Amino acid sequence: MKNWFNATLQLIRKTGFGWGFILGGFLVGGMAMSLNNKAYAHDFKQGDLVIDHPYATPSLTGTRNGSVYFKSLRNRGGQADKLIAAKSSVAERVELHQMQMDGQVMRMREVPTIDLPARSEVNLSHGGAGTHHLMLLNLKQPLKDGDRFDLELVFEKAGTRKVNVWVQAPRAGSSSSSHQH
């Protein structure tokens, strides 16, 4: 630490810049980094729940349905909760779904709720058996990469929370490319 401080003092003396200029640079740089982080943050809080990065995939040609996923859905509280409903103006209705293996075939089925146990994280991302997602049924128009839309989530205890969903193409190698509705 002492060497860094001495080097900084020598730099200030050689360049003729004062402490105000140097500290101002650190302040502006720190603010820019802070703003940059917030620009990419895409999570929402509702009580003890954290809804991290809600996203949908672009519509497949000829389909009228879509899917909404989350990077994660965490319950940081000491009480269990449930996701009991969802709605959006982009679709006629939204259903809660779970993927399950039926022998050698992956099946999707509607579920009445998605349990959110206390101090846990529920998988609502692309994936295999046991994962959940939200189905957008009878889309009013196809979802395109880069679109954004609002989705209202209704929780049994935490209440209602509106989130903004980003439409984005699946990353290479993700299982979503084979997930069709």
Place of tokens 């509705």: 181
For residue range 139-179, list pLDDT tens digits in order: 999 999 999 999 999 999 999 999 999 999 876 545 444 44
- Spell out the residues 6+ positions from residue 115 whose beta carbon is closer than 8 angstroms to its own: 80, 82, 122
Contact in structure between 83 and 113 (CB atoms under 8 Å): yes
Distance of CA 97 to the CA centre of its chain: 18
Instruction: Give the CATH number of domain 44-170.
Output: 2.60.40.1890
Place of tokens 């998605």: 114
Contact in structure between 43 and 51 (CB atoms under 8 Å): yes
Distance from C-alpha of 37 to C-alpha of 6, rounded to nearest angstrom: 31
- pTM of whole model > 0.85? no
For residue range 102-145, list pLDDT tens digits in order: 888 888 899 999 999 999 999 888 776 778 999 999 999 999 99
Structural tokens at position 115: 């349990």
Taking residue 155's Cβ as centre, other Cβ atoms within 10 Å add up to 21
Domain boundaries, the chain: 2-40, 44-170
* Alpha-carbon separation of residue 2 from 5, 10, 143 (angstroms): 5, 12, 56
